[in-house]
């Protein structure tokens, strides 16, 4: 199994690009944020612990994240998969690589979307999610009316971890962790750094051009998200 990993700060667009790549290559996407939100929405014991961490802008307990990650990975059968949100720092790499080794998986490419902090802050202020299915959207004008292209819902809310104080803590955690993580992938010759301020379709096509060729049909859907 070949793994494509997305890296980037909150608001960089890595969630959007991960979903686009999943659709274009017709391969599974494992987003840790989605997996953790599933636990929260299911009101499990694990979900309650995760919710407490998310509301404070901190990361959930790592051993809990690994448990959820491996459980879900074991249920996937594909020759390629996309990860969004794991690992988040260099300290997590050994555990993630051990899990991948047990699945005979290796990292094909680590894609880092680089975006200035001023643009990130603006994007996050405009970011909302569908209250029904959780899909993220950029809503630039107050009162703008849109429909979710996944479930056709019309109620959009701001994510708890996008609130101002939580957002500041997320940026702090990101800055403390990203340089070593990028260095690790660079040293292993799998890092692809891209300008995350470019148009969504342009970034997507650049990603496709840098991946190992496999048989797939490329479809480039338009998504309004900047997650």
Residue 138 domain-assigned (yes or no): no
Number of domains forming the structure of the chain: 1
Q: Give the pTM.
A: 0.71
3-state secondary structure of 84: strand
Residue 146 domain-assigned (yes or no): no
Give residue-wise pLDDT tens across range 81-127.
Answer: 999 988 988 889 999 999 999 989 999 999 999 988 777 767 666 66
Q: Is 114 left (phi over 0), alpha (psi -120 to 50) or beta?
A: beta
Residue 224 domain-assigned (yes or no): no
* Closest residue by Cα to residue 90 from 9, 184, 221: 184
Contact in structure between 170 and 65 (CB atoms under 8 Å): no
Residue 155 domain-assigned (yes or no): no
Question: Per-residue b/e over 124-145, b at no fewer than 16 CB within 10 Å?
Answer: bebbbbbeeebbbbbbeeeeee
CA pair distance 68, 39, nearest whole angstrom: 9
37 band by pLDDT with thresholds 50, 70 and 90? confident
Residue 135 domain-assigned (yes or no): no
Contact in structure between 106 and 3 (CB atoms under 8 Å): yes
Looking up residue 204, the CATH number of its domain turns out to be: 3.40.50.300
Distance of CA 121 to the CA centre of its chain: 17
């Amino acid at each position: 199994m070949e793994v494509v990993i997305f890296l980037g700060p909150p608001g960089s667009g890595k969630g959007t690009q991960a979903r686009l790549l999943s659709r274009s290559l017709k391969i599974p996407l494992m987003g840790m944020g989605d997996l953790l939100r599933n636990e929260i929405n299911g009101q499990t014991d694990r979900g309650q612990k995760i919710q407490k961490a998310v509301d404070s802008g901190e990361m959930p307990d790592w051993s809990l994240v690994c448990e959820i990650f491996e459980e879900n990975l074991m249920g996937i059968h594909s020759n390629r998969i996309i990860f969004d949100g794991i690992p988040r720092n260099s300290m997590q790499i050994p555990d993630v690589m051990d899990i991948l080794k047990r699945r005979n998986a290796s990292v094909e490419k680590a894609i880092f979307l680089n975006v200035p902090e001023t643009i990130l802050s603006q994007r996050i202020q405009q970011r909302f999610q569908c209250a029904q299915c959780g899909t993220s959207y950029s809503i630039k004008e107050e009162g703008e009316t849109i429909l979710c292209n996944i479930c056709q819902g019309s109620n959009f809310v701001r994510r708890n971890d996008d609130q101002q104080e939580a957002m500041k803590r997320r940026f702090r955690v990101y800055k403390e962790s990203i340089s070593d993580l990028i260095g690790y992938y660079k040293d292993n010759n799998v890092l692809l750094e891209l300008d995350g301020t470019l148009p969504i379709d342009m970034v997507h096509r650049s990603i496709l051009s840098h991946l190992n060729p496999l048989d797939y049909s490329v479809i480039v859907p338009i998504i309004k998200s900047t997650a």
